[in-house]
Amino acid sequence: MTLSGKTAIVTGSNSGIGLGVARELAKAGADVVLNSFTDRDEDHALAAEIAAETSTNTRYIKADMSKGDECRALIETAGACDILVNNAGIQHVSPIDQFPVDKWDAIIAINMSSTFHTTAAALPMMRSAGWGRIVNIASAHGLTASPFKSAYVAAKHGVVGMTKSVALETAREPITCNAICPGYVLTPLVEAQIPDTMKEYNMSREDVIKNVMLERQPSKEFATVEQLGGTAIFLCSDAAAQITGTTISVDGGWTAL
Ligand code: NAD
C-alpha cells in the first residue's frame, strides 16, 4: 500500500518503537515527522537519512511531550497531520509507597496527557483533509498490570480508554483511532528498567529477561519494532477502515494467559 501524500507524525521517534514505526511509514511513502524533546544534529541527521532512503519529505521537529503547549505546537508546526502515532513514553519501576512524585507526574504527562493534546490539535486537520488515522502505542500494561509500575499501568489504561472515546467521537467520519498493545520489545526503554527490576527481584540480568519479562510472554520472544511498524501500516490501510476504538495486541500471547 502507499501512504504517499500523507503526513505522519510520530511522537518520541528518535529511538526504539517510534523510530521503527517511523521507518515503516516512510518506506510506505508517508512524509514523516520525527520527534523528541532534544534538538541535536543527530536527530535531524536521522530524519535526513530516512528522507534520502525513502524519497520522502521526512523531517525532525523538537517538542517536549511532557508539556501540553509543546504537544500542540508539534502538530501546528508540522502543518498537516493525516496519521498521528502517539508513541512517546517513559517508565519508572518502584513500589507505590516509594514512587517519586515527579516520576508519577512525568509518566502521566508523557505517556497519557500528550495523547490528549496531540489528538485535540490533529483532529481538525484530519477533518479538513477528510481522512485520518490515530494510532496510540499503549502496552500490554494498558490491558493488564504488573507490580511496581503503578504510574505506567495507570497511564496506559488511560490511553486505551481515551482511544475508545476518540473512536466514538469520530465514528461517523473517515477517521479511526486504535491502540497497539505491545508486549516486551527490546528497546532502550526496556534496557533501562532491567537494573531496577534486578534490584526489586534480587535477580541477575539473564533471570530478569527470562523469568520476569519473557515469563509473561508465552512466545518467549521479544516483539520487534518492524512488527509494530507493520501493525501501524495495517491500521492505516483500507482493510482497517472499519477497525476503530479497539486494541491490537502484539505480545506473543501475553494477554491470552
Ligand atoms: P524508547 O525509550 O526507546 O523510546 C521512547 C521515545 O520517547 C524516545 O524517542 C524518547 O526520546 C521519547 N521521549 C521520551 N520523553 C519524551 C518527551 N518528554 N518528549 C518527547 N519525546 C520523548 O522506548 P520504547 O520502548 O521504544 O517505547 C516507545 C513506546 O512504546 C512507549 O510509549 C512505551 O511505553 C511503549 N511500549 C514499549 C514496550 C517495550 O517493551 N519496549 C512495550 C509496550 C509499550
Span 57-112, pLDDT tens digits: 999 999 999 999 999 999 999 999 999 999 999 999 999 999 999 999 999 999 99
Q: Is residue 257 part of a domain?
A: no
Give the residue, out of 14, 15, 21, 181, with the most ligand 1 atoms within 8 A of its beta carbon, to mutate for a pocket test: 15
Co-location of 245 and 156 in the same domain: yes
**Cα 43 to averaged position of ligand 1 atoms, centre (Å):** 15
Co-location of 170 and 53 in the same domain: yes
Co-location of 47 and 153 in the same domain: yes
Q: Is 114 near ligand 1, meaning CB less than 6 Å away?
A: no
Q: What is the pLDDT of residues 139-155, one digit of tens each?
A: 999 999 999 999 999 99
Residues 167, 177: contact at Cβ < 8 Å?
yes
Q: Is 144 near ligand 1, meaning CB less than 6 Å away?
A: no
What range defines the domain where residue 37 resides? 7-185+223-252
State the pTM of this model. Answer: 0.96
pLDDT higher than threshold 90 for residue 202:
yes
| Alpha helices (H) in the chain, listed in sequence order | 16-27, 41-54, 68-78, 101-107, 114-129, 150-169, 188-201, 205-207, 225-236
Co-location of 216 and 104 in the same domain: no
Q: Which atom number of ligand 1 is nearest to the Cα of residue 109?
A: 18
Instruction: Give me the pLDDT at residue 1, please.
Output: 72
pLDDT higher than threshold 90 for residue 184:
yes
Co-location of 84 and 199 in the same domain: no
Instruction: Give me the pLDDT at residue 189, please.
Output: 81
Give the pLDDT band of residue 185 (cuts 50, 70, 90): very high
- Per cent of the chain over pLDDT 70 is 100
Co-location of 137 and 203 in the same domain: no
Residue keyed to cell 519508572? 92
